[in-house]
Chain A
Amino acid sequence: MQLRGAEILIKVLKQEGIHTIFGYPGGVLLDIYDELFKGEIRHILVRHEQGAVHAADGFARASGKVGVALVTSGPGASNTVTGIANAYLDSIPIVVLTGQVPTHLIGTDAFQEVDIVGITRPCTKHNFLIKRVEEVAKTIHEAFHIARSGRPGPVLIDLPKDVMAAVTEYEPQPPKKIEAESPRPASKKAFYVMDLIAESKKPLILSGGGVILGGASEELRQLARRTRMPVTSTLMGLGAFPASDPLWLGMPGMHGTYYANMAISTCDLLIAIGMRFDDRVTGKIDHFAPNAKIVHVDIDASSINKNVMVDVPIVSDCKSALQSFNALLEQKNFSVTDDQRKEWLDQIDAWKKENPLSYCQSDTEIKPQFVIETLYKLTKGKAIIATEVGQNQMWAAQFYGYDEPNTFLSSGGLGTMGYGFPAALGAKIAFPDKLVVDIAGDGSIQMNIQEMATAIQDNIPVKIVLLNNGYLGMVRQWQQLFYGKRYSSTDMTYQPDFIKLAEAYGWMGLRATKPDEVEAVLQKGLDAPGPVLMDFRVSREECVYPMVRPGGPIHEMALGREMAN
């Protein structure tokens, strides 16, 4: 069958199971957009290319499938870089299709030409420039395979205009299945881990985003429950283990819970699964888990012994490793009761009582934590939550309980302000029947606020819970704590009237300025059928606690009591 490159592209996308893409047209994409006009694939028209990539990323995080963005050459392509780097640092499988000038013009500084393959080389898992129409089908299949296999990541494909217009013979090929190539733990090592678990008096599981990406949450739960090992998860790993389980410790690290950080600092066995010992988690490396034998399971060999030297390195995908641990436990008929763990679990309970996550409630000012707690209560923890970056993100991690994987979407590695809202749109596309909420700050939301138009045009009714303190709150917090309260350029008092702005875009806008209005505003906003922005005027100088000072050991936390009124 003789087909044009653009037709082949659409056919291959459909074969890869893609029903929706996020994009923005341009001159070199005309052939592709003409093909999209047939309506075989749903196209969500974003208002900025960064939004397209974040939306594809949010789609991928929520659904576990590959998200796809389509953008034009030059500025369209360069606008995707932040979104791509964001997906790269969090290992999110997306495919970014960029238009390119015709092959004979490449390298001539043609109109809207950039070397996007060169620009994104260090922030993609892999990228391609397709120079012949005969390569289109094979390359796109390969890109999808690379994006989702092994440690997932973003893959970019540069599509010159003439290649999309050219005609070639096309025979459909079946998409590459993920072969059982993913590494598995050697049985000797799995046995050794069993011995360590059996010997340990104070074991702890530290899980990360890899457990979610690898679809291994169920296996994680089995392991923890059978051995009564408490669980803490990095920001990226929230939801893999249910926050409602008594073994749950919350997130560790810079803004982690007191008890998670104390557990890490005290445990004698740390089983780290699908996480990479980011500096925000470890604090000062020399003081990280000083008493523990560390087992580290990761699919990426380069993550092992990179930051923390471990005792038992296991290069494996999380699911295989956890399955082999669980199988051995079954085989040996090994399990632990709460009674046998009593001493350790009691210690953890004591820490939980000593310093629970808390804030100082007020009658006059809305506390941002209170907004999130109320949101948690009203949604019964069932919403998909996307976050922006900064204080809003940390409070969303602390005060909303995630019971299921793929329900917390947050820019962990890159810390991209402006991520949450477009990511929420992507998640809503993946799950139209689920409630999707972006927890935002007034700084972050203004970074991709243009996508409010997208939500209306393509009917994507997400909710924005805006914790509006008129500051770049997290930077202000550091200025308060470490720079003598010199709030250099973090005051954003001048801002749009978010209600009017919402209404101008065709959204519903709601506002709460007092604590007793919070629940009613949330209820009304969540119940409304369309997209709603809820502007909560929160206590301006609230800080995120606990806080480990940058570069400090994680057992030394400021708990914020000194700040209480």
Chain B
Amino acid sequence: MEKKEYTLALLVSNKPDVLARVSGVLGGRGYNIETLCVDATLDPAYSKIILTTIQDKATIGKIEKQLIRLIDVHKVTDLTKVESVSREMMLVRMKLSDTNKGHLALIIDTFNGRVITMNGDHCVMEITGDRAIIEKAVASLKPLGIDDMARTGIVSLERQIN
């Protein structure tokens, strides 16, 4: 069966060990989590976990059923199935030189990025976008000398109130 990236949103109790239980359901069956994003919801007793994983259709169905069995998981939504928007943010630290500054400014402009801090020979910038945009930005920045980077992983939200 054809595999693709699925995005799951999990409403979970905001308690120690919950993330381990969730990741254990996937890890214990040999499935990789590609991206992961967690924070408390409006009600601090709960957290929302957004994770992505590359699976075929049958397997993602089984994973959803296994996840909802966990006592601390209250709701599982496959955001790939519903209309949703998703974003990822990355922070990139670039080495600056006379030769790359101009090119860098152009890239920041193209990807609607922002320089957060600049200090002599390096800068840290942020770029936000969907996964494809972030991948393109990384590809463009790489030849200019990425010192290090950090990515949030995907956050995603249904478009409609359901």
Contact = CB atoms under 8 A, between A and B. Distances in A.
A186 interface: no
Interface string B64-96: 011011111000000000000000000000000
Contacts of A129: 16-17
Interface string A94-131: 00000000000000000000000110011001100100
Interface in A179-220: none
A118 B19 CA distance: 12
Interface stretch (A298-306, A338-346, A404-412): A298-306
Nearest to B16: A129
A510 interface: no
B142 interface: no
B20 interface: yes
B17 A122 contact: no
Interface string B13-47: 00011001100100010000000000000000000
A129 B21 CA distance: 14
A146 interface: yes
A126 B72 CA distance: 9
A121 B20 contact: yes
A451 to B, nearest CB: 31
A131 to B, nearest CB: 9
A122 B69 contact: no
B134 to A, nearest CB: 33
B62 A121 contact: no
Contacts of B28: 122
Nearest to B29: A122
A125 B72 CA distance: 11
Contact of B24 (A122, A300, A306): A122
Nearest to B65: A302
B33 to A, nearest CB: 16
Contacts of B65: 301-302
B71 A146 contact: yes
Interface in A280-307: 300-302, 305-306
A117 B15 CA distance: 14
Q: How large is the interface on B (under 10, 10 to 19, 20 to 34, 35 or more residues)?
A: 10 to 19
B71 A306 contact: no
Given A302-B62, A306-B62, A121 B21 contact: yes
A125 B71 contact: yes
Contacts of B62: 302, 306
Contacts of B20: 118, 121
A302 B66 contact: yes
Contacts of B61: 305
Contacts of A126: 70-72
Contacts of A121: 17, 20-21, 24
Nearest to A309: B58
Nearest to B63: A302
Contacts of B71: 125-126, 146
A250 B69 CA distance: 32
Given A122-B28, A125-B71, A126-B71, A117 B17 contact: yes
A530 B103 CA distance: 90
Nearest to A142: B71
Given A122-B28, A306-B62, A300 B21 contact: no
A266 B18 CA distance: 46
Nearest to A123: B28
Interface string A299-321: 01110011000000000000000
A121 B28 CA distance: 11
Contacts of A146: 71
A154 to B, nearest CB: 13
* Residue of A126, A146, A302 contacting most chain B CB atoms (<10 Å): A302
Contacts of A306: 62
A300 B17 CA distance: 23
Given A125-B71, A302-B68, 6 more contacts: A118-B20, A121-B17, A126-B70, A300-B69, A302-B66, A302-B69
Interface of B: 16-17, 20-21, 24, 28, 61-62, 65-66, 68-72
Q: Ordered nearest first, which 5 A-B pairs have the shortest CB separation?
A: A302-B65, A126-B71, A301-B65, A122-B28, A302-B66
23 contacts: A117-B17, A118-B20, A121-B17, A121-B20, A121-B21, A121-B24, A122-B28, A125-B71, A126-B70, A126-B71, A126-B72, A129-B16, A146-B71, A300-B69, A301-B65, A301-B68, A302-B62, A302-B65, A302-B66, A302-B68, A302-B69, A305-B61, A306-B62
